[in-house]
Amino acid sequence: MKPIKILPLLVIYFFASVSFAQSIYMTRTGRISFHSDAPLQKIEAVTNSAISVLNIENGVVQTTVQINTFEFDKPLMQSHFNENYMESDKYPKSTFKGRIVNAKSIDWTKAGSQKIEIEGELTMHGITRNMTAQGTIEKKDSQLLAIVTFEVKLKDYEIKIPSLVGNKIAEIVEVRLNMTYDPVK
């Protein structure tokens, strides 16, 4: 008699978990790059280690990146970035928690690129600030490809640039996220 009562609960649980999983997408290899174009020097770095989760049902998105995974062309730049500017031992990661504002108007089954607007909180260097950004999301087979670009003012996150190198580092850095999300199964 007990197995009969448990069976309907298992069936409900199974269908609920399948329905839930189809609305959740994730990546562990998200690409984040940044670009600083100062008068004397151009600085670029990239990581392919960002972790991001996207719920297409409500548009909630969360992203985390370990600061020390950013790679530069010059090892000395990477060292200065981690030790002097971002203090990655003290502030090892950066996070974004927010949502796609127009998630309800996106046709998640449609192939092709659609515009998105994101808002939420970016935490970096121990400081959290509200932010908004524009981008696109594209359905390709079972994956979702998101590209978002925004600017970060270093002073907003109390990232101090010594006056000695002030003309080599821009006060505003362009950040670009390229995420390839897979459905969670």
What is residue 68's predicted lDDT score, i.e. its pLDDT?
97
What is residue 165's predicted lDDT score, i.e. its pLDDT?
56
Phi, psi of 93 (to 5 degrees): -140, 165
What is residue 19's predicted lDDT score, i.e. its pLDDT?
44
Numbers of helices and strands, H then E, in the chain? 2, 9
* Full-model pTM: 0.84
Phi, psi of 89 (to 5 degrees): -70, -40
CA angle 33, 38, 39 (to 5 degrees): 150
What is residue 168's predicted lDDT score, i.e. its pLDDT?
61
What is residue 16's predicted lDDT score, i.e. its pLDDT?
44
49-33-21-62 Cα dihedral, nearest 10 degrees: 100
pLDDT tens digit at each of 185 positions of the chain: 444 454 444 334 444 443 444 799 999 999 999 998 866 678 899 999 999 999 999 999 999 999 999 999 989 889 988 998 899 999 999 999 999 999 999 999 989 999 999 999 999 999 999 999 999 999 999 999 999 999 999 999 999 876 655 556 788 899 999 999 999 98
What is residue 146's predicted lDDT score, i.e. its pLDDT?
98
Q: What domains sit in the chain, N to C, each tagged with a CATH number? A: 24-183 (2.40.128.110)
CA distance 27 to 52: 5
